[in-house]
Structure 1
Amino acid sequence: MIDISVCMITYNEANTISRAIESISPFVKEVIVVDHYSEDDTAFIAGELGAKVYQRRWSDHFADARNFSIGMAKANSILIMDADEEYIGDGASLNEAYQLMKDQTGVALRAKVKNLALNNQVTRSCITRMFPKNSGYQFVGRIHEQLLFNGEEPKIFDSTIELNHYGYTKETIVKKGKYQRNVNLLLLSLDEKPFDPYILFQLGRTYRLMEDYEESRRLLEKSLQFIPYPYPSYHSTLMLDYSTTLMKSKRWNELFGILNTAIENYPDYTDLYYMYGSAIIESQNLEWFSQIPDVFSACIQLGEVQHGKYETVQGVGSYRSAFNLGLYHELIGNKDEALKYYRFCIEQNFEDALVRIESLTNMK
């Protein structure tokens, strides 16, 4: 057993808690579940699986709940997991992370999180999840809580810990009303800190996920007005989300201006180039159409985003861009070139391309 306390906070997670605990419990000293009086069998299931279960009243404050959970930990290191996540691995990454962090203070480790989201889209991000057991570590924030050490950001290193996150599948969102819950908590946070760019950013991206693009655009624009320089780590994602809202609002001139600025700041962020190409397609402007092959070829040349550097959609540096290139060449009548890109997609297990291949090969 590795000297790690895994800390979870829960409410009505009976459908996912078993997967989460069973994926991690064989490798760690203890699993702590702080349950907020679930109306289902979450607490019972967690206890049956060997977790130490504590119950407390929900206070509309995620940081308070997190801090209570880490206060119950007995191991020398703490790993934060959600009940709708799953540890991927055989424990080696946990041991490696523990050894990296052992006997250090003021440091924290990020885990690789693969989000299985709507429309079968997979996004990848790195999130601070592991840190030493020390009273100096505390979470702050009513929602989208952030870890501090003695009131300052800890020194962050990347680990090889991998987690799958299932919380934003369509079924989960509808069942738990996650978006509206998040909006309510973010609005409470905004009442307390009306000019906080991080809260504005999180609220804006939540409205984007809810497809309220006009409100999302307004909030993300406001976040950009108040964001400090040097830019915080979420600035690249903010620029990408803001670009999405501009595209959905068909504000083409503003969009391409923002994307050019964003690419100047983050020239290796493949998702920005992919957004550029997507916007050209979405605009249906024939004058811009000729740029499509250059833009998506640039995405493939850049490749997938380097681990941990930016939040990214899986495939923008490979099969998603290749698929768009296939559509482009199919549209202009270049069948052989289209098939080349579609076959590349199949090699990458992107089965959407199979329909296009069948269509082209069956043409007389």
Structure 2
Amino acid sequence: MNKGKLPISACIIVKNECEHVEKCIKSILPVVEEIIVVDTGSEDNTKKILEMLNIKFHEFKWNDDFSVARNYSLSLATQPYILVIDADEVLEYQSFNVLSEYISNKSSSPAKVILKNHIDTGCVISEVVRIFPNNKEYSYSGIIHEQLLHLGQEHKQMFFTDLIIHHYGYSSKEIENKKKIDRNIDLLIKQLLSEPDSPYLNYQMAKTFYVNKRYQHAIDYFESTLTLLANVQVLPSYVSTVFLSYGYCLLFQKEFESLDMLINDAIEFYPEYTDLYYLYGVSLIERGAIEKFQEIKEVFEMCYELGEVKSRDFETVEGVGSYRALYNLGVYYEVLGDHNLALEYYSKSATYNFSPALDKINERLV
């Protein structure tokens, strides 16, 4: 093993990732002992970039099944532990110590990492399983949005790490890549034909339409997801995200009555989920109802009081319990005509380097 590197095989599957793959490789190169790259048919400069970086890659014929390609990459790994990372992702610079801690524990359980999805309006934070021991007991299942299984079942025990991976695949430019979107939808439809009653697949279809701003289609699949989950005894961890994403679809479609009912139901399940209150506050601004104007202040004050989401089971928009809530309180007081309080809240928000708050201050609105 190279001195200073960890006994980890980083496994990546790529196809036409010339815009991302170099940053991905450079982020993991100083950390892991082995990098396994499986190319499923790149037609751009992805392979040339890998060659330039002296990274060996393995050709694999694409067969419309992500899990098969993913499992092939695992079969090539030789190190005791595996880190799965995508080409449009980057490992945060302080990752060595976090990964070292996981390895030193000699855990036989897989580990979750913090995934920061960078979008045009900020950052959405979630947790995903990306690290696990290298043995044949672990494999991926599902032709798309593949899930890691242990002996064919979901692993009940989980190790939580503070490892951060930055994901850049949700930018407007990436979303506008209709070919990739259509491929994902086609694969989901194919899998849904064989598993129509799968809440997880209906959820993933809803999320795909949601990310691509096809909100009515997303709403239909979110409704199907909740219907299928109605008779489930133990709710899966993604249910909180179903409520939140479904709610944003209703917001964008201006279906405020349905949104209010959904948020009320969701808060019964997740009373400390700051994002739900923030979503409601944004909807109050959007609907512009005079009779609910005072409630705007109360909701964003509650968001700030709750703070950023503490449960690691929740997907969250960064800032809903801090700078975004403060900014919206500034907007509230600006509309109210209280320029001193507006400036105070904008200034507090700006301490987080939140661009809209900085712009408000620079505009000298108060």
Give the TM-score, by structure 1 length.
0.94
Secondary structure of the residue aligned to 2:290 is coil
Secondary structure of the residue aligned to 2:202 is helix
Tell me the residue number matched to 1:129. Answer: 130
Of the three residues 183, 186, 193, the one matched with 1:184 is: 186
Tell me the residue number matched to 1:120. Answer: 121
CA deviation map 1:199-236 (0-9, x unaligned): 11111121122222111111100100001232100000
Tell me the residue number matched to 2:153. Answer: 152
Tell me the residue number matched to 1:49. Answer: 53
Displacement of 1:308: 2.4
Tell me the residue number matched to 1:79. Answer: 83
Cα 1:176–1:93 change in 2 (3 A) is: farther
Name the amino acid aligned to 2:323. Y
Secondary structure of the residue aligned to 2:158 is strand
Compare 202-211 and 123-132 and name the one that shifted more.
202-211
Q: Is the 8 A contact 1:97 1:160 kept in 2?
A: no
Tell me the residue number matched to 2:102. Answer: 97
Secondary structure of the residue aligned to 1:315 is coil
Distance 1:130 1:14 in 2: 25
Pairing 1:259-338 to 2, within 5 Å after superposition = 259-306=263-310, 308-338=312-342
Q: Percent identity?
A: 39
Pairing 1:162-241 to 2, within 5 Å after superposition = 162-175=164-177, 177-227=179-229, 228-241=232-245
Q: Is the 8 A contact 1:236 1:310 kept in 2?
A: yes
Q: Is the 8 A contact 2:329 2:342 kept in 1?
A: yes
Pairing 1:28-43 to 2, within 5 Å after superposition = 28-43=32-47
Compare 160-169 and 90-99 and name the one that shifted more.
90-99
Distance 1:207 1:14 in 2: 25
Distance 1:358 1:217 in 2: 39
Q: Is the 8 A contact 2:175 2:211 kept in 1?
A: no
Distance 2:49 2:27 in 1: 14
Displacement of 1:175: 4.2
Tell me the residue number matched to 1:108. Answer: 110
Distance 2:233 2:252 in 1: 28
Displacement of 1:309: 2.8
Aligned-residue CA RMSD (Å): 1.6
Tell me the residue number matched to 1:5. Answer: 9
Runs of 4+ in structure 1 off by over 3 angstroms are 175-178, 358-361
Cα 1:156–1:89 change in 2 (3 A) is: same
Compare 276-285 and 293-302 and name the one that shifted more.
276-285
Q: Is the 8 A contact 1:139 1:147 kept in 2?
A: yes
Distance 1:59 1:354 in 2: 49
Q: Does 1:243 align with 2:247?
A: yes
Secondary structure of the residue aligned to 1:287 is helix
Displacement of 1:80: 0.1
Tell me the residue number matched to 1:18. Answer: 22
Name the amino acid aligned to 1:38. S
Displacement of 1:3: 0.8
Distance 1:110 1:33 in 2: 22
Cα 1:337–1:70 change in 2 (3 A) is: same
Displacement of 1:354: 2.8
Displacement of 1:249: 2.4
Secondary structure of the residue aligned to 2:312 is coil
Gaps of 5+ in 1: none
Displacement of 1:360: 4.7
Name the amino acid aligned to 1:108. P
Cα 1:138–1:31 change in 2 (3 A) is: same
Secondary structure of the residue aligned to 1:233 is coil
Of the three residues 69, 72, 90, the one matched with 2:73 is: 69
Distance 2:169 2:8 in 1: 24
Compare 131-140 and 239-248 and name the one that shifted more.
239-248
Name the amino acid aligned to 2:227. Q
Name the amino acid aligned to 1:60. D
Q: Is the 8 A contact 1:30 1:51 kept in 2?
A: no
Name the amino acid aligned to 1:198. Y
Cα 1:83–1:358 change in 2 (3 A) is: closer
Name the amino acid aligned to 2:126. S
Tell me the residue number matched to 1:345. Answer: 349
Give the TM-score, by structure 2 length.
0.94
Secondary structure of the residue aligned to 2:30 is helix
